[in-house]
């Protein structure tokens, strides 16, 4: 009986790892491909098309208000955008929240970046976002260059290095 329980636990853990690896790499498979274009309405009411930002380095951040890591990550990304805006860096936050009111809360007070509301999650599916937060770095030609899934304190240095590398190109 104990052997069966141990075997079942091991098998369950192995299956979970396989599933997580499959989920974790889905969005990353976009790397090197043209970023899928989309149009979403911002919480300010304006339609925003990704392709309008060709010629700029775009940090496309997927998140939700219920996600503490998303809010923490957005704070750091916003600081990066403010610092590098004149060099051609743009931050677009895509809220996967259910309501526009919730999506508006993702930006906080006086955010310097547009928050786009992905009402039905279509753009999230287009980018294979299985969990949040996800940051997709898109180069000046509209090619996905890097996908960061999840967030941990200290990831900011990886974002910064990647953005600086794209700006040098």
Terminus-to-terminus CA distance in the chain, angstroms?
61
Low-confidence ranges of the chain (pLDDT < 70): 1-26, 107-111
Predicted local confidence at residue 99, as pLDDT: 86
Q: How far apart are CA 30 and CA 36, in angstroms?
A: 9
State the Cα–Cα distance between residues 88 and 65, nearest whole angstrom: 27
Give me the pLDDT at residue 26, please.
64
Contact 31, 145 (CB under 8 A): yes
What's residue 11's pLDDT?
37
Domain boundaries, position 117: 2-168
Record the pTM: 0.82
Query: Tens of pLDDT along 28-44?
Result: 789 999 999 999 999 88
How many domains is the chain built from? 1
CATH number assigned to the domain comprising residue 9:
3.40.30.10
CA distance 38 to 41: 10
């Amino acid at each position: 009986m104990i052997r069966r329980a141990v075997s079942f636990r091991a098998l369950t853990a192995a299956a979970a790892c396989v599933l997580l690896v499959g989920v974790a790499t889905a969005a990353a498979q976009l790397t090197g491909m043209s970023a899928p274009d989309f149009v979403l309405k911002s919480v300010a009411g304006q339609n925003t098309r990704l392709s309008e930002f060709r010629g700029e380095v775009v940090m496309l951040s997927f998140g939700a208000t219920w996600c503490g890591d998303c809010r923490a990550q957005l704070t750091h990304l916003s600081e990066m955008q403010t610092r590098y805006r004149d060099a051609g860096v743009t931050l677009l936050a895509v809220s996967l929240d259910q309501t526009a009111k919730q999506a508006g809360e993702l930006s906080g007070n006086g955010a310097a970046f547009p928050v786009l509301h992905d009402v039905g999650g279509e753009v999230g599916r287009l980018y294979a976002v299985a969990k949040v937060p996800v940051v997709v770095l898109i180069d000046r030609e509209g090619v996905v260059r890097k996908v960061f899934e999840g967030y941990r304190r200290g990831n900011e240095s990886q974002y910064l290095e990647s953005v600086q590398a794209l700006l040098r190109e």
